[in-house]
Amino acid sequence: MTGWLAGKRALIVGAGSGIGRATVDAFLNEDARVAVLEYDSGKCATLRQQLPDVPVIEGDGTTRTANDEAVQVAVDAFGGLDTLVNCVGIFDFYRRIQDIPAERIDQAFDEMFRINVLSHIHSVKAAVPALMGQDGASIVLTESASSFYPGRGGLLYVASKFAVRGVVTALAHELAPRIRVNGVAPGGTLNTDLRGLDSLDLGARRLDAAPDRARELAARTPLGVALSGEDHAWSYVFLASHRSRGLTGETIHPDGGFSLGPPPQRN
């Protein structure tokens, strides 16, 4: 523990599992006070049991109502808000345009962009008034390796993550100098509980349920690592801290060097 977030008051949206849950723990370990907004009632119950001092708001992060309530709870509990983190997301399991029935495109598009993009916009809209009054306020949104490179998701997922990258850039410009806005673009991740689109009958499927996922993730990165939510969480800590005060509109890529191309042949 370094105390990088000592005195910080944070709201983390989508905090029940995976990267969001790991980020909650990392923020607490760095002396931040944290409130969470989570959709899943079972995950909310677990959070309340494991972290009794953390305000847990059960609600749909894609809605204005839930985000407004979560911000108000955080402000009431902590006397203000310094940091917003959004880790809400859904996957399409590499569905190509040929794989999506024409009659399902509208519904799948709406579901993907509501969860992966609209949730970020609603959380920012709700948090900005509270953040504006604080020195060193910051927003950290969750992009993906798919925000920069095709092939790490299907058509709709890649498009939605490119959109989140645009949201980060636009907000960083719009909210400067009062609020810094940055993104984290994780590569493949272990233990994410990232689910698929209900509209494509993928809602019960987990990305991290694939056999030999750790080996597959490590094999496609130059560093040969399979990263977890705990690994990614430290990028959020850094971007929320004073150490990153000169960064806005930027993206950290904890992806094992994926952007460098295929890993070298190892003897």
Could you read off the pLDDT of 96-112 as tens digits, one per residue? 999 999 999 999 999 99
Report the range out of 89-93, 117-121, 219-223, 224-228 with the highest average pLDDT. 117-121
Contact 4, 241 (CB under 8 A): yes
pLDDT number for residue 36: 98
Amino acid at 186: P
Catalytic center residues: 157
Assess whether pLDDT exceeds 90 at residue 85: yes
**CATH T-level fold of 9-252:** Rossmann fold (3.40.50)
Q: How far apart are CA 60 and CA 64, in angstroms?
A: 9
CB atoms within 10 A of CB 245: 10
Cα 109 from chain centre? 19
Q: How far apart are CA 157 and CA 48, in angstroms?
A: 31
Show the tokens assigned to 101.
């029935």
Q: Which helix (H) or strand (E) holds 11?
A: strand 9-13
Which single residue is written with the structure tokens 């029940």? Answer: 16
Residues 7-56 pLDDT 10s: 999 999 999 999 999 999 999 999 999 999 999 999 999 999 999 999 99
pLDDT number for residue 193: 73
Q: How far apart are CA 17 and CA 182, in angstroms?
A: 21
Assess whether pLDDT exceeds 70 at residue 243: yes
Show the tokens assigned to 251.
């993206």
The residue extents of the domains of the chain are 9-252
